[in-house]
A and B are shown apart, each in its own frame.
Chain A
Amino acid sequence: MADLTVEAGDQAARGRAGGGWPGYLARKLGGGLVSVFLVAVLGFFLFRVLPGDPVRTMTRGAPVSAEQLEQLRQRLGLDQPLWKQFVDYLGALVRGDLGTSYTYSRPVAELIGERFGPTVLLVGTATVLAVALGLWMGTRAAWRHGSAFDKASTSVALTLWSVPTFWLGLIVLMVFGVGVGPIPGLFPVGGMVSPDTPPVLISQVLDVARHLVLPALTMVAVIYAQYLMVMRSSLLEEMGADYLTTARAKGLREDLVRRRHAVPNALLPTVTLIFLHLGLVVGGAITVETVYSWPGLGLLTFEALRVPDLPLLQGTFIVLAGSVIVMNVVADLLYRVLDPRVRAA
């Protein structure tokens, strides 16, 4: 209620509440922007500390003359003093220019733009499935805690969570991609598209979907455990609460008590966690993308690290760190919407 009465121009209200919507929004967004700026600064200096002369790395043992090296340095602006490079970098960043990749000789922003879609598709699909699975199993496990289901689901989830992703990916690839014994190899073992798919939209969509199955499955297997565990523990905390007794006393059926009363309250910390992790998961896709040659941001980062391609690393670093910050802000805002107590504070 309080937030509805606060108008943008209502100085008295803003001054009094301090926690009204616009103020809260401004604080969170401002904090986010400061973080993004710090990430940009860090991104610049972090990759200057990496050992290695970029020009040497680029020419990798080719017999180039000193003049050629010098020209290359000039072209990349590496002959400028560090502060000048930093100012140029910040100026370009404001214009949305992330520089030019050494390896691909193309704008970094363009490369990241190309790879963003596939990663969002993979991470998005995997997160949706992992959240659904984790919440459902976590709820069941908590409601009947100590049961065989609780023990089995928790230990399976924790086992998958601790297994190396690369190894799990290869096992999934062998079993469902190639086939073992009676299981036929149903899904492609790598890439995002089959080049020979006819240029009909529905065929292309199905083709991408088929390629998506194994990497998404691998990711789900690895990440659903955390949702299960958080949901389980926060529901367990709610279970002794008085309002549940009240609800039962009203004569509500057990699963309605769970669904209508306990779960919504237990969801609160879980939702925050989901958004906090969404930012991290993009970076976490590196291994899965590498196993399945999925042309996303993770793979791009992996390649850039191997060279190392400084502008590209800088760009992916900003985008990955930026997505964590954005998701943090979203989680903060969402928490306020979901939890009246934060609003009142």
Chain B
Amino acid sequence: MGRRLLVALLVLGGLLVPNAAIAAPAEQGEARLRVAVPQQIDSLNPFLGYSLAATDLFRLIYPTLTTYSPEDFSATPELAESWETSLDRLTWTFRIRDGVRWTDGQPVTARDAAYTYDRMMRDPAAATANGNFVENFASVAAPDERTLVIRTKTPQATMLAIDAPIVPEHVWSGIPDVAGFANDRMPVVGSGPFVLTEYEPEQYATLRANRRFWRGPPKISELQFVQFKNTDASVQALRKGDVDVAQRLTPAQFDALAGERDIAQVRGQGRRFFEMLINPGAADSAGDPIGSGHPALRDVRVRRAIDHAVDKEALVERVLNGYGQVGGGYLPPIFDDYHWNPPRPREFDLAEANRQLDAAGYRRGPDGVRRTPQGQPLDLRFMLHASASADAQVGEFVKRWLADVGIRVRLEPVSDNQVNDRTTAGDFDLAVSGWSANPDPDYVLRLQTCASRPTPEGGGTPDSFLCDPAYDDSYAKQLGEFDPAKRIELVQQAQARFYEQASASVLYYQNSLEAYRSDRFSGFTAQPADGGVITGQQGYWGYYGARPTAAATTSRAADDRTTLLVLAGVVLVAGAVGLLVARHRRATVDERE
């Protein structure tokens, strides 16, 4: 702090001091990969940090039990080299890899893993970010250095997807208060392909390659995450060569980089799906109706008719500039195995939607707006994220299409947390929602179960308030199904039921748009291999595979030149000021009486 203050104070004075030796040249043979990060790292403590930027960082520095393969997201050995399950599927025994070391030289053992999970089970603060992974754990033990035994309360098919960072016991057992621990003593002890060596909050994080990484050292020597709050600025920084990778680009930014020399574009499939919730009659976990959903939407025929009236292709073309896929099943196509396409999709057809609403008995009133059989007009509120421009566009399109089928829509753009609150309370008719799916489908599938409805006290994480016995049945079966092929079938069955009930319409799957400096780096491993992404992966593959070109390993002189130009400017200004002052002095001397 003191030093920073000093720097701050000296800046203005420093402008006036010429100095020849300013920027030090990069060391020969060193290659630093700089990535522009649009989101903040909320905490370096792996038990607390949950922002995307933080979890990306943890994947690079802490081991996990298993990981997701870069080819197809299948569960792959990481710290655990093999595993077996008991006949009752309640006991899992993991064999821990030998010869893996923490960056301070200590061996990584089963005890570290047991300690980590145990702490998450016992210490509520340690459960902040990843507590859900251990919720179903009955006990964790490490009978020896290389054996980890986990007993679960009920069979759990997601045991190979425990995406929680494992921390070194010898460091963390001395921390009594997890919630108050910043974990910012550099270098942070980890065992992943990179070591965190430097961190300035809101500015940058620097990671050195871990030369002793068990898979072999990365090909780049340093990785740096640089904060850019404004993606427009990060695109400009990429153009200029101030950063090497820019991510989460908008379609317009992505298009603007097309054909640019030395910049390669990556159009990957996204993990996120966007849906329009159609409130089917929200209820809490006790089954009591809550919220203020329009009664007409409780009729599945109305929900299907609304879905018929939404032109998803137009949304992909107009809202996403074509960078996305038309929505259908619940899980995005990036997860090839589980993705499901409706065999008989509800095509965009306003005439058909009108016919279905007529047949269901929702007649048009004199104003052209349909009425429920009880005479209530079909006036729907459509809740949108005021912060998302895509939502505004979707809203306008849907409003127009639904007007054509006799449904009046009022757009309600509100703040993000109001969207969260009001969807949780069932206080909406239509709403834009969306989730990032994981390679294991359990997490998002669970959102549509009866169990995820809010408790009368307000817990729970509901999405569309589906609560359908047939859906719940498929969901429960897939969670206990350990045969991959059968599980896929059950997951697809659940999606088919979800589609049939139309409590939400999956609008589209947005592409993930990235770009990098091809003159400096190549070889980023995409995940999945087909149409994958290079940043924000489920694993460390992208940066681990990056290879520097000859240009990236030689020093750059641009900074020196800029600094010299700045200095020249400063000297000029200082000179001009000096002249003015001198003239002023002379003038007053003349005038003295």
Question: Is there a chain A Cβ closer than 8 Å to B464's Cβ?
Answer: no
Q: In the assembled complex, which residues on chain B have CB atoms less than 8 Å from the CB atom of A179?
A: 240
Are B135 and A65 touching (Cβ within 8 A)?
yes
Are B23 and A177 touching (Cβ within 8 A)?
no
Q: Which residue of A lies closest to B417 (CB)?
A: A52
Q: In the assembled complex, which residues on chain B have CB atoms less than 8 Å from the CB atom of A187?
A: 562, 566
Q: Least Cβ distance of B592 to chain A in Å?
A: 11
Q: In the assembled complex, which residues on chain B have CB atoms less than 8 Å from the CB atom of A242?
A: none
How many chain A residues touch B (CB < 8 A): the figure is 79
Which listed residue, B180, B204, B233, B587, touches A173 by the CB 8 Å rule? B233
Query: Of A104, A113, A200, A202, which is in contact with the most chain B CB atoms at under 10 Å from its CB?
Result: A104
Question: Is there a chain A Cβ closer than 8 Å to B127's Cβ?
Answer: yes
A337 to B140, CA, bound (A): 72
Which listed residue, A111, A205, A293, touches B11 by the CB 8 Å rule? A205
B interface, size bucket: 35 or more
Q: In the assembled complex, which residues on chain A have CB atoms less than 8 Å from the CB atom of B443?
A: 63
Are B420 and A52 touching (Cβ within 8 A)?
yes
Q: Least Cβ distance of B258 to chain A in Å?
A: 17
Q: A195-B226, A209-B15 are in contact. Are A56 and B131 (CB under 8 A)?
A: no
Are B40 and A303 touching (Cβ within 8 A)?
yes
Main secondary structure of the interface of A (DSSP, over half): helix
Question: Is there a chain B Cβ closer than 8 Å to A15's Cβ?
Answer: no
A193 to B206, CA, bound (A): 13
Q: In the assembled complex, which residues on chain B have CB atoms less than 8 Å from the CB atom of A212?
A: 11
Which listed residue, A63, A66, A170, A191, touches B132 by the CB 8 Å rule? A63
Question: Is there a chain A Cβ closer than 8 Å to B104's Cβ?
Answer: no
Question: Is there a chain B Cβ closer than 8 Å to A8's Cβ?
Answer: no
Q: Which residue of B lies closest to A302 (CB)?
A: B229
Q: In the assembled complex, which residues on chain B have CB atoms less than 8 Å from the CB atom of A289?
A: 229
A200 to B563, CA, bound (A): 15
Q: List the one stretch of A37-45, A67-75, A233-241, A313-321 in contact with chain B.
A: A67-75
Q: State which residues 270-320 of A face B: CB under 8 Å.
A: 289-293, 295, 299-300, 302-303, 306-308
Q: List the one stretch of B89-97, B195-203, B473-481, B504-512 in contact with chain A.
A: B195-203
Are A190 and B124 touching (Cβ within 8 A)?
no
Are B416 and A105 touching (Cβ within 8 A)?
no
Q: In the assembled complex, which residues on chain A have CB atoms less than 8 Å from the CB atom of B10?
A: 201, 205
Q: A63-B443, A120-B8 are in contact. Are A177 and B240 (CB under 8 A)?
A: yes
Question: Is there a chain B Cβ closer than 8 Å to A204's Cβ?
Answer: yes
Q: Using an 8 Å CB-CB cutoff, how does the interface string of A173-192 with B read, 1 for contact, 0 for none?
A: 11001110000011111111
Q: State which residues 544-572 of B face A: CB under 8 Å.
A: 559, 562-563, 565-567
Are B42 and A105 touching (Cβ within 8 A)?
yes
Q: A125-B12, A206-B563 are in contact. Are A292 and B203 (CB under 8 A)?
A: no
Question: Is there a chain B Cβ closer than 8 Å to A253's Cβ?
Answer: yes
Which listed residue, A68, A69, A113, A200, touches B1 by the CB 8 Å rule? A113
Question: 7 interchain pairs (CB within 8 A)?
Answer: A51-B421, A52-B420, A57-B420, A105-B128, A179-B240, A205-B10, A209-B14
Chain A residues within CB distance 8 Å of chain B: 51-53, 56-57, 60-66, 68-69, 71-72, 75, 103-106, 111, 113-115, 117-118, 120-121, 125, 170, 173-174, 177-179, 185-198, 200-206, 208-210, 212-213, 252-253, 255-256, 289-293, 295, 299-300, 302-303, 306-308
